[in-house]
Every structure is written in C-alpha cells, then in structure tokens.
Amino acid sequence: MEKLIGTGLRTIGAVSPRLGGRLAFALWRRPLARGAVRDSERAVHDAARVEEIDGALTYAWGDGRRPVLLVHGWRSRASRYAGFITRLLELGYSPVSYDAPGHGDSPGPIVSILGHQRIIHALEKRYGPFEGVIAHSLGVPFVLYALREGVAAQRVVVISGVADFGYLADMFCATLGLGPKVNQQLRREIERGYFDGDRDIWTRFSVMTGKLPLLVVHNDEDNVVHPEQARVLLRNYGAQAHFHPTTGLGHSRILQDPAVITEAVAFLQDQQSVQEGSDVPEGLDLSA
C-alpha cells in the first residue's frame, strides 16, 4: 500500500507539485489506523478512571498524589505505557494519560500541537502540577512545547523523540519517495491547514533551550525517528539534558523494555543511574 501511494503521489507531484502537496497533506494528517488495547495492557487499561477533556479520553490511576503525565505518539495510545504505569503505581505515583483525538478510543479528527497543548494544560489543572512527564515519539514536541508555555513539571523523560518539527514533513516525504517540491508544498499546506499560514512554526515548535532536568532515551535501530534527532534534541535543549542510549529495541519495543522503564522512573525520582560521561551520545558532536 505504501509503495502504491508513493508511486501515485510521485506521479501527481511531478505534474503538479501543488496538487501533490495537497494530497500529501490529506494523507499526512490521518493516522489511518488506531492502536487497540493489547492483552498485556488490558488490566492496566481497565483499572483507569476515565474522563473526557477537550475531545480526548483521559486516564488516571492512583490516589492523585505525585502525578506523572504520560503522552503517546502517532497511531499509539495511553495503554502502551502499561509497564510504566505499573511501576509508577508501585512507587506511589499517580499516572495520568490520554488518547489523543483520532487515536486510541478518542474520537477524531486529530488536533495540532496547539490542541495537545490545550489538553495537557487541562490535565495539569485537573491533576497537576506534575512531578514528572514522560513522552514518546511525536508526543515529545507536544510535551516540550506545553512545558515551555507554562505547564508545570519537575523532571522530564523523552523517548524516541522528534526534536525538529520539520522532520515530520521530511520523514513523511522520504518514506513515500516524494521530492523537495512536494515537500515544500506539504509544508505550506500544514501551515495553512493548522496554523493560519504561520511560517514560523518550524522553528517555534522545534526543541529549544530548556530549564527542567531532561532524560533523552533513544535507540540505535529506530527506523521511525532517526537517532540523529537525539543529537538535535540534546544540542538544542542544553546543559540540563542527559542521554541514555539503548540498542536493538527499535521505535516501539523501547516502551516495553524493563531497563528503559527502570532508568526513566529512576530519573523522575532524582536517582539518575545514567553513568558519568553518557550525557553525550558516542560519536555525536554537539557543537555542530
């Protein structure tokens, strides 16, 4: 299916990059598939208190003390954090999460990063301030922007995260083999479709210098968000960012890995087990 769609868009884009960009945008903004609750997640999922906030189904566990926010990525859902939720509950935290509009059990359509900001802010008013925040994949820029805009938290863990907002368009076009002209038109459609034509979004929503302690977790075999994004994230965020490398886990299995869960929760507890010298990924020049 991906090959067929790519071939069709490339053919149209060669004749009319503008039309190719419009069709690419129509596809870009649709998850096309919703993640279902897995058997391994069912008990945790069913134990949550469920509410609806700003078009999103929200989930809360625990007694309300020491809240930790969990934000999922594209085509994912809150239940993917089942391992994290179990561990956080054992330690006396109160996990909070949501299925983004158009994902999981939440109705559509999807919302932009500004819509996620509103949802996260509403969750902070309902459950926060947060002792910690954990985000995966596309949830990373959503969380970091919301924190920059005033959502309160003490420490942050980002896993397999997107750092450069423009990477979302670049990755989509690269996957389908679309050229630079269609990429440019796709960016214009994103600007018009979600942000009233604002061309500054590519800088505004990318990772900037942060003040909160941040743990960056990324895998060397991630074929969805390239490990290079970890370098960009570390460089842009600054001295408060620390790095925990993993190997062989890919983009999704990393959320189920016990060692990653242990490392992330230890960081939230301010018991960072990242070894000295591992703040910078090997071979990455952060001065670039």
Q: Output 44 or 20, whichever has higher pLDDT.
A: 44
- Predicted confidence at residue 204, as pLDDT, reads 96
- Predicted confidence at residue 224, as pLDDT, reads 93
SS3 state at 123: helix
The model's pTM: 0.89
- Residue 62 CA, chain-centre distance (Å), reads 24
166 pLDDT above the threshold of 60: yes
Q: Which homologous superfamily is 35-164+206-268 in?
A: Alpha/Beta hydrolase fold, catalytic domain (3.40.50.1820)
Q: Output 274 or 15, whichever has higher pLDDT.
A: 15
17 pLDDT above the threshold of 80: no
Convert the pLDDT of each residue in 73-85 to its tens digit.
999 999 999 999 9
Q: How many residues are given for the chain?
A: 288
Which tokens go with 233? 């994230």
Residue whose entry in the numeric block shows the structure tokens 């985000």: 135
What is the layout of strands, in order, in the sheet containing 56-60? 49-53, 56-60, 94-99, 67-71, 130-136, 153-159, 214-219, 241-246
Domain edges within the chain: 1-30+166-204, 35-164+206-268
- Residues 136-154, mean pLDDT to the nearest whole number: 97
- Predicted confidence at residue 15, as pLDDT, reads 62
- Predicted confidence at residue 6, as pLDDT, reads 62
Amino acid at 90: E
Which tokens go with 114? 């500004």
Q: What are phi and psi of 215, to 5 degrees?
A: -110, 125
Instruction: Find the angle CA(100)-CA(106)-CA(110) to the nearest 5 degrees.
Output: 50
- Predicted confidence at residue 108, as pLDDT, reads 82
| Secondary structure letter of residue 151 according to DSSP | -
- Residue 247 CA, chain-centre distance (Å), reads 20
Please report which helix (H) or strand (E) contains residue 153, including its range: strand 153-159
7 pLDDT above the threshold of 80: no
Whether the CB-CB separation of 246 and 281 falls below 8 Å is answered with: no
Out of 118-127, 132-141, 278-287, pick the least confident. Answer: 278-287
Convert the pLDDT of each residue in 202-239 to its tens digit.
999 999 999 999 999 999 999 999 999 999 999 999 99
Handedness of CA 174, 180, 184, 185 (dihedral sign): negative
Q: Output 118 or 286, whichever has higher pLDDT.
A: 118
Peptide bond preceding 107 in cis form (omega within 30 of 0): no
The rounded distance, in Å, linking the Cα atoms of 86 and 96 is 12
| Strands 94-99 and 67-71, sheet pairing | parallel
Contacts of 247 (CB under 8 A, 6+ apart): 219, 220, 221
